[in-house]
Structures are given as C-alpha cells and as structure tokens.
Chains A and B, each alone.
Chain A
C-alpha cells in the first residue's frame, strides 16, 4: 500500500517504506511522549521555592498563589509544608508541587536555602523595597543573601523572580519608578545583577494580587 501511494520507481519505493514507517512511529511516539510529559508535569506540578527576607511577604505570596485568605496569619516560624495546589491564571490552570513556606530569618539559610534552590525550578526572592532603600544594614543583608542564592544557582538552570514588596510605602507611581531604578542601580556592579534582568517587580504584595498573577501568567508560566 505504501509503494502504490508514493509513485516512485519500484526498488526505491521499497527502500523508503521502512524509513517512512519509522518516521511515523517517531512522530506519533514523540507527540505521545510530549503529551505524557505535559500530563505528568500537570500532575506533579511546577516546583517553586519562596525565599526572602523577614517580613517581606513570602507567606502572603503563597496565600495569593494558593488562593486562600491571609487574614489571621502569624509570623512564620519553622518550616510550614504545603500540599500541591492549582494556580488559576485566567483561563488556564497551572499545577504547583508541594513545598515549604520557610521563615525569613538568617538562621534558615544554612539549613534550607541550598537544598531548596537545587530541588526547585522557579526561585522567588522577596525583600522590602522601602527598607532596602532606607536602611543600609537591611540592604547589605539583602544583597548578601542574593549573592548566596546566586552562588548556589551556579551550574543549575533556574528561573528566578525578584519581588521588591511594600511598594505602597514608596509613594506614588513616579516614586515607585525611581525606586525601581535605584534598586537596579544598586546591584549594577554585582555578579548577581542578572537576577534582576528579566523578572524583577516592585509591588504591594498585600493588595496587588492581580499584578502578581499577571506577571506569573505572562512571564513565568507562559503559554
């Protein structure tokens, strides 16, 4: 049947036939493999790590992603595991694997950061934008932590998202834009400046859930 379908000279037809059969097998097998992989990815979920400074909004971020209320939360103390959940981004759903909400204290860096960076594909890092620009000690600590994260990421292909939070404390839109520029300039000469190149956002984590989800939809979990 294949030889009559392709009107080529007799022996050449027969030579092409196995190639064609194998080609079709690879094509369908490959498509099936991709479909299975995407299904498994949906079932297992994307692996995310939420890291950041104390009081920067990490738990609030997770509450937004999980679509659960944040009211009544206490300060995070000790690692709080969460189950895998579905992130609703407009007209599609993205599965997020189970993980841990860890506090922002420096004592957690040694025991959690390295493993969380290695184990997860998307790394979120949060810090307080207002404090960063007004408290030298805080900005130094934030930069030290970013340097640490950058070192740990070396050799691993990771997607990073930097959120500078408490944008409401910065003032109006122009002041926010200035703050954005100043923060970027502050890391211009640092080896980890590339972390701020693509996915860096200043926002009010408490009240700007839509901005957060838009960022995730358009930049992180692109269609």
Chain B
C-alpha cells in the first residue's frame, strides 16, 4: 500500500470510501479495505511532534480543519484534515490520508490528485501552509543550533 485515502460521504447511509493505490472500495466488508482502514486508523492515534505548531496555526486560522493531524514516521506521512465539500449536516467532510512519500511538496500534490479522483478538494491551502510553517520552524531551529555551536566554539 503506497497511498490510502479514507473519507466519509455526504450522508450516513452512503458507505464510507477508501481508496488504496488508486482503487476505490465503497463497501467496507472487503478484507483488503478493512485492512487498509485499520492501518490508517492506527496512524490517526499516534502523536505527532508538530501538535504544538498545529494548535498555533489553528489560533491564527492558517489551519481551518479542527481535526487536523500530521504524523511523520518511518513508514511515511499521515495527514487528517477536511475537504471543502460538506455533508448533509453542513459539516466539511473529513479524510485520513497516508503515503509512503515523505517530501511534503510531493505529498500535497498526491493528496490533491487523489482527492480529485472522488471529486473532492482539500480545504483551503491549509496543508501547503502547514508545510511552509514546518519549514520555517526547521530553519529557525537550524539557525539557533548554528548560533549556539558558534558560541560554544568561540568560548572554547
């Protein structure tokens, strides 16, 4: 499994959709679909190290989805967010997405392409904005580490 997308649909009577490597499964009784769902669901329970950043970006309205989650581990990247499209209760439809690709610029393109296969679009630019925010934080951390190293070398 290289990419998995799981999403609920407009109504509670419509079965959930899971897409594994481009193949859409609409009926959850299928063995493969359940296995893929279980895998992605387990990812959703992990804690990501950027949760503090997500909270900040929520407050700034850079991230709009209240259930936004990002986890990067040895397997790949997991993202939970929501689509622009709404369900019958006027709530933005949530999705869970996993890919073995680890580079965020590539990940965002894959999500966009995968979502378009089921006529959905990712909410705002929140994933791209989030990726930019991570890069910014990483540059700052890198710069601070260099400054500290320089100071230590100067002292020594």
Q: Is B6's CB under 8 angstroms from A74's CB?
A: no
Q: Is A77's CB under 8 angstroms from B12's CB?
A: no
Q: Is A74's CB under 8 angstroms from B12's CB?
A: no
Q: Is B91's CB under 8 angstroms from A74's CB?
A: yes
Identity of the chain A residue whose Cβ is nearest the Cβ of B81 in the assembled complex: A74
Q: Which one of B37-45, B134-142, B148-156 contacts A?
A: B37-45
| Chain B residues within an 8 Å CB radius of A105 | 8, 16, 28
Given contacts A74-B91, A138-B12, 7 further A-B contacts (CB under 8 A): A55-B12, A77-B94, A78-B41, A78-B44, A107-B34, A107-B41, A138-B13
Is A5's CB within 8 Å of the partner chain B? no
Q: Are A73 and B34 CB-contacts (below 8 A) given A54-B12, A78-B96, A107-B28?
A: no
Interface residues on B, range: 20 to 34
Instruction: Work out how many contacts link A and B, with CB atoms closer than 8 A.
Output: 69
Q: Which of B40, B66, B80, B89 contacts A72 (CB 8 A)?
A: B66
Distance in angstroms between the alpha carbons of A71 and B41 in the assembled complex:
25
Within 8 A of B (CB), among A33-82: 53-55, 72-81
Interface string of B84-98 (1 = CB under 8 A from A): 000111011111100
Q: Is A73's CB under 8 angstroms from B96's CB?
A: no
